[in-house]
Amino acid sequence: MTQKTHFGFKTVDEDAKAGMVHGVFTNVASKYDVMNDVMSLGVHRIWKDAMMDWLAPRKGMKLLDVAGGTGDIAFRFLKRSGGGHATVFDLTQSMLDEGRKRGEAEHMHESLEWVCGDAMALPFEDNTFDAYTISFGIRNVTRVQEAINEAYRVLIPGGQFLVLEFSSIPNPAMQWAYDRYSFNVIPKLGQLIASDRDSYQYLVESIRKFPNQEQFENMIRSGGFSLVKYRNLSLGIAALHSGWKI
C-alpha cells in the first residue's frame, strides 16, 4: 500500500510529494529572494547571519548546503570562512540556476559546486563534509528523518548539522496574530509579486505541519547527533537547531 504524507494541509502519496515540491520551487525560483525579503521584511537576512554566527566558518572548511538553491547560505559561508568550499545542493535545477546568476557566484566560482538531487539520498561519500546546513528547506522533504540520517552519514566525525526553519511561537496570542498574517497576507503577496498564490499557500501550510522545536530536536537526536540544541529567533517564528556528529 502506498504510504501517505502531507503537502501543506493536503494528504498525498509519498511518491508524489517530491514532484509537487519541485513544481512549487520551479514556479517561484525567479522571485524567491524578492519574496523572502518582502514576507519577512528582510528579517530572514538576520536569521541567516545568526546561523553563520553559530557555525563560525573557518578557512579550509567544507560545507554542504542542502535546499540551498539561490546561494544565500553558501555565499555567507564563503565570505566568512576566508577560504572554504561550499557545495550547494537542491532538488530544483531552476533554483540552482538562479543562484548561479547572482554576482557572488561569479566571484566565488572556484569555491562553489552546484548539485541537483534528493536530500533523502545524497550522492556523496560517508564522512565528506565539515558542516551540513539547510535553511527553510527541511520541512519540504518527504521523509524528514531520512534527510537527517543522510546528513549524519556525510558529515565527518566532529561535523555540525545546522538547521534554520520556521517554527512555533510559544505564546498562543502571538501565534494567532502570526497565523492571521501568514494565511491572509503571504498568499496575496505571492500572487502580486510572483503571480503564484497557490505555491505560497502551500509554503504557509507546510510551516504549520512541521514539528515544533522539541519534537524536531528529538528527531535530530534519533538521527545519531549529540549536543543537540535549539535557539528561537524572533520569538519562535523561526528556530535554529544544531547537532554534532561525535
Residue-range domains of the chain with CATH: 4-244 (3.40.50.150)
Please report which confidence band the pLDDT of residue 137 belongs to, taking 50, 70 and 90 as the band edges.
very high
CB 213 within 8 A of CB 168: yes
**At which residue does the C-alpha cell 519577512 appear?**
40
SS3 content of the chain, % helix, strand, coil (to 5): 55, 25, 25
Q: What pLDDT sits at residue 103?
A: 83
**Cα dihedral across residues 190, 45, 233, 25: positive or negative:** positive
Q: What pLDDT sits at residue 189?
A: 87
Assess whether pLDDT exceeds 90 at residue 159: yes
Assess whether pLDDT exceeds 90 at residue 158: yes
Please report which confidence band the pLDDT of residue 37 belongs to, taking 50, 70 and 90 as the band edges.
confident
Against a cut of 0.85, is the pTM above it?
Answer: yes
Instruction: Report which of residues 33 and 173 the model is more confident about.
Output: 173
Please report which confidence band the pLDDT of residue 20 belongs to, taking 50, 70 and 90 as the band edges.
confident
CB 143 within 8 A of CB 120: yes
Q: What pLDDT sits at residue 2?
A: 73
Q: What pLDDT sits at residue 65?
A: 98
Assess whether pLDDT exceeds 80 at residue 35: no
